[in-house]
């Protein structure tokens, strides 16, 4: 499975590199095809998909070099051709299950990790699982939506509705984490938490030397590093008292939680905006 | 509907043409499209050949393998199988039959006033 994932990632990386050879118009045309096929590829063999996409890209570059633009070469009815291409790619349910497992593990890791910054780590595995489930469904929904609208840019109203839905889902997920209490509580002793933090920091120190972090992995890496350092500061004698001081706003405590949620949304929107700006340039 | 009928007919003919071309020499996608252009298929959108090639491979009429390319990543070359060769011969026979019948109908068509 790991070799296969590496092979798929390699094809995708080659695609990213090669795509730069296309003119803007040809790249826009090809990327509509790419987004549609990847977005609609929930249950199919991702290796065969990436192989097809790369083959088509190579041919579009050849056509471009011979003076034929992508639309003239490939055809005007891109959606029809893309749909037919997708039908030829065999299903691979194992892909789908494995992707969801990885996504669930990543979500639970990201959602659970901040708990290490508490002196007594008790986390609610039930609410964590539910929040991860909401995140996974949201990710698949977003992928499906993006794929379905690859050939038709959404209207301002649709875009606003999508952003609003994203914010609501994010709010529900955070609320589940903060306020839902299930009976599936897992407690880590201070000793175990500290050990996990130290191990995490050692891995974080070594990782950049043994693995080249992708664009997607980098924010997760820095976020994890931040949490681990914060967690360490909670345990170190010199900084312990500062970081263990309880933030208590009394009757305004709820406002503090709202501010934290809004801060999280603001950071998310900022990252999205920076990504959009970078993509445009 | 008319457009669907035309595209179905074109796909059937294209499949036969691809079998004939790939029986002569194994080729990759763009080279196949250039060969089609040489024989008068310039106006056929070449996007149609990609799903066709994959379908034919699924049916066992073609096989594919990757060959290193001097210009970048390896390219996928297609070649005909034994089943593909039989399908090619069947297509040629059916085409000759069909062509002669249609030519006969055209020959008996009354002249326009």
List, in order of start, the domains of chain B with CATH numbers: 9-106 (1.10.10.10)
CB contact under 8 A, B45 and A14: no
For the full predicted model, state whether its pTM sits above 0.80: no
Going by their DSSP bridges, the two strands A185-188 and A121-124 should be labelled as antiparallel
Share of chain A above pLDDT 70, in %: 93
Return d(Cα A265, Cα A171) in angstroms, integer: 9
A63 touches chain B (CB under 8 A): yes
Q: Which sign, positive or negative, has the C-alpha torsion A78, A80, A85, A90?
A: positive
- Measuring CA to CA, which residue among A71, A37, A79 is closest to residue A54? A37
Would you tell me how many other CB atoms lie within 10 Å of the CB of residue A173?
20
* B74 in Cβ contact with B64 (< 8 Å): no
In chain A, residues with a C-beta closer than 8 Å to the C-beta of B45 are 73-77, 81
User: Is B110 within 8 Å of chain A by CB?
Assistant: no
Residue to test with chain A: of B3, B30, B48, most A Cβ within 10 A? B30
**Mean of the pLDDT values across residues A52-72?**
94
User: What is the dihedral angle through the alpha carbons of A54, A59, A63, A64, rounded to the nearest 10 degrees?
Assistant: 20
> Higher model confidence: residue B103 or residue A100?
B103
Q: Which has the minimum average pLDDT: A19-23, A26-30, A232-236, B16-20?
A: A232-236
How many CB pairs below 8 A link A and B? 64
Tokens 């494995």 -> residue: A98
**Cβ-defined contact of A58 to B51 (cutoff 8 Å):** no
> What residue ranges of chain B have pLDDT lower than 70?
1-6, 109-113
User: B3-35 in b/e burial notation, b at 16+ Cβ within 10 A?
Assistant: eeeeeeebbeebbbbbbbbbeeebbbbbbbbeb
- Partners of A185 in beta bridges: A124
User: Best of B6, B10, B48, B51 to disrupt the A interface by mutation (most A CBs within 10 Å)?
Assistant: B51
Q: pLDDT by residue (tens digit) across A112-167?
A: 777 777 766 777 888 888 888 888 888 888 877 777 777 777 778 887 888 888 88
Least confident of A185-194, A257-266, B62-71: A257-266
Of B28, B47, B55, the CB nearest to A75: B47
Half-sphere exposure of A278 (CA within 13 A, CB side): 7
What is this model's ipTM?
Answer: 0.86
Whether the CB-CB separation of B46 and B36 falls below 8 Å is answered with: yes
pLDDT at position A278, please?
A: 66
Please report residues of A whose CB lies closer than 8 A to that of B76.
Answer: 51, 55
A23 pLDDT tier (thresholds 50, 70, 90): very high
């Amino acid at each position: 499975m790991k070799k296969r994932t590496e092979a798929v990632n390699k094809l995708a990386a080659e695609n990213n590199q090669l795509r730069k050879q296309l003119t803007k118009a040809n790249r826009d045309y090809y990327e509509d095809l790419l987004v549609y096929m990847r977005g609609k590829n929930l249950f199919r063999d991702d290796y065969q998909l990436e192989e097809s996409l790369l083959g088509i890209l190579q041919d579009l570059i050849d056509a471009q070099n011979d003076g034929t633009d992508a639309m003239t070469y490939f055809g005007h009815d891109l959606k029809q051709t893309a749909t037919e291409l997708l039908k030829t790619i065999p299903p691979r349910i194992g892909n789908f299950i494995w992707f969801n497992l990885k996504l669930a593990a990543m979500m639970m890791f990201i959602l659970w990790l901040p708990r290490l910054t508490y002196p007594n780590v008790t986390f609610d595995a039930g609410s964590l699982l539910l929040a991860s489930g909401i995140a996974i469904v949201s990710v698949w929904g977003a992928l499906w939506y993006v794929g379905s609208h690859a050939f038709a840019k959404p209207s301002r109203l649709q875009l606003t509705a999508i952003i609003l839905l994203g914010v609501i889902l994010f709010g529900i997920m955070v609320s589940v984490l903060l306020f839902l209490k299930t009976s599936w509580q897992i407690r880590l002793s201070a000793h175990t938490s500290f050990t996990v933090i130290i191990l995490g920091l050692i891995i974080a120190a070594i990782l950049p030397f043994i693995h080249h972090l992708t664009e997607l992995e980098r924010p997760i890496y820095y976020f994890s590093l931040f949490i681990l350092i914060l967690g360490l500061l909670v345990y170190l004698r010199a900084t312990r008292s500062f970081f263990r001081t309880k933030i208590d706003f009394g009757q305004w405590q709820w406002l503090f939680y709202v501010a934290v949620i809004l801060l999280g949304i603001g950071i998310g929107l900022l990252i999205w905006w920076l990504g959009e700006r970078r993509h445009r340039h | 509907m008319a457009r669907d009928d035309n595209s179905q007919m074109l796909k059937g003919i294209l499949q036969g043409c691809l079998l004939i071309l790939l029986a002569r020499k194994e080729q990759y996608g763009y080279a196949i499209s250039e060969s089609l252009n040489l024989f008068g298929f310039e106006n056929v959108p070449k996007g149609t050949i990609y799903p066709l090639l994959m379908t034919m491979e699924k049916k066992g009429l073609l096989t594919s393998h990757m060959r290193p390319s001097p210009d970048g990543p390896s390219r996928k070359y297609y070649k005909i199988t034994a089943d593909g060769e039989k399908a090619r011969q069947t297509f040629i026979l059916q085409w000759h039959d069909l062509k002669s019948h249609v030519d006969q109908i055209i020959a008996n068509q009354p002249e326009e006033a």
